[in-house]
Structures are given as structure tokens and as C-alpha cells.
Chains A and B, each alone.
Chain A
Amino acid sequence: QKEVEQDPGPLSVPEGAIVSLNCTYSNSAFQYFMWYRQYSRKGPELLMYTYSSGNKEDGRFTAQVDKSSKYISLFIRDSQPSDSATYLCAMRSYSSASKIIFGSGTRLSIRP
């Protein structure tokens, strides 16, 4: 079983919709949670990171962590065609130095 599971999609939604992207994990030691966006033929870029549980908002993006369920989410409000990309979750524990585990990514397409 992978430490981090992420539905690969593809997920296709109309412009303006609210998008929900999710990851589940098995390692209860994970404390830092990140979301990266990767456009085709490009390297990933960091969208948001959170520490432990709770919500964090940045513009149209909201990251949510539920440690009791080992479940993290990224919500995108008022989705735009420019949001079409692959979204990767990533996480690491506090004690394992800087080893970072990524999900396999969800491919998202926003239809104009």
C-alpha cells in the first residue's frame, strides 16, 4: 500500500465550478502537508502548505487537513481554464528529516 493515495483523474469540470481534490495517507506521523500544481512539460510549483490540522486559505484556494481521518483536500473556487493542470499533494513527518512523499497527482481540466 502506498503511503499517499491520490485519485489520478482526469477530472473535468465547467468553468466557475468549485473543485475538490483529495489525498489520503497512512502514516500518522505526517505533520506538513503541501499542494503543488504542475502544468504540462513544466516542473511542479508550490501552491500552499499547512502544518498539522485545520484550514488555510489563499485567494481562490483553500487547503484542508483532517488528521483524524488522514485526509487532506484542496478546494478551488471559481475555477478558470488556467487552473487546468495536474495537482500533486505532498507530505512529510516532523521526525524524518526532510524526506518528502508525493501523491501520484490528479489531472484537472476546466472546460470554458
Chain B
Amino acid sequence: EAQVTQNPRYLITVTGKKLTVTCSQNMNHEYMSWYRQDPGLGLRQIYYSMNVEVTDKGDVPEGYKVSRKEKRNFPLILESPSPNQTSLYFCASSLGSSGYEQYFGPGTRLTVT
């Protein structure tokens, strides 16, 4: 089944404890992206990648890191999480590098205390 998977789906952590949210797609898509979704603010793009080893900042990259060493994986790293990073996170992928026909993962609910 063609899909985007994220792990974990739910995570509660403490301020400053490094964490990684994994994202994987099995559709051989070139484009991958991370978003956070907050009430009243909608989906905001954190980082995106148009291909392996090519990443760029979205609208809200502060406090996040990404890497794209393989086409199928695009992990999101929070080196020192803070409470304002409590949010619902979505990974997405797209066949073309333009990114406008995106397939989204199921989401990761992160709480930082």
C-alpha cells in the first residue's frame, strides 16, 4: 500500500531532551516536507526537501533540523525541544519536485513539558 508513515504517533517529552520523529514513504517520491499544525494557525511548513541531500527552510524552521540521506526517509530532529514546539506534526511527500500534490502521513502529536 502506498503510504507515508511517521513514528512515533504520540510523544510526551521534557524540555531539552533531544528527539527524532521519523518519516518514510514507499512511493519513490522526490519531494518531502514537514509541517506543524496549530489551532488558528493552520499548517506551517518547517523544512522541505526536493531530493536527496537537498533541503531548504520553510516558514518556521527555528529549533528544527532535518536530513535527507535516502530518498524514502526524511527525519525531523528537535535538538533541544521547548514547550512552544508542542504541536501536531505532519510529514508529506510528492512525486514531482514542485510539491503541490502532496500525500500526508497520519501525524505525530508532540507534547513538550
Using known A-B contacts A34-B100, A43-B107, A45-B104, determine if residue A100 contacts B40 with beta carbons closer than 8 Å: no
The residue that A105 contacts in the complex, of B4, B42, B104, B106, with Cβ under 8 A, is B42
Also in contact, A46 and B101, with CB within 8 A (given A99-B58, A103-B42, A105-B42) = yes
- Which residues of A in the span 82-110 have a Cβ within 8 Å of any Cβ on B? 88, 90, 92, 97-105
Residue contact A88 to B43, C-beta cutoff 8 Å: yes
* A8 and B33 contacting across the interface, CB-CB below 8 Å: no
A104 near B104 with CB under 8 A, answer no
CB interface residues, B 97-113, toward A, < 8 Å: 97-107
* A49 proximal to B (CB < 8 A): yes
B74 within 8 A of partner (CB):
no
| Residue in B42, B97, B105 whose Cβ sees the most chain A Cβ within 10 Å | B42
- Known: A43-B106, A98-B48. Is A104-B42 also a contact (CB below 8 A)? yes
Inter-chain CA distance A92–B45, complex, in Å, is 12
17 A-B pairs (CB sep. < 8 Å): A32-B98, A34-B100, A42-B106, A44-B90, A44-B102, A45-B104, A88-B42, A92-B99, A97-B50, A98-B48, A98-B56, A99-B58, A101-B59, A102-B42, A102-B45, A103-B42, A104-B40
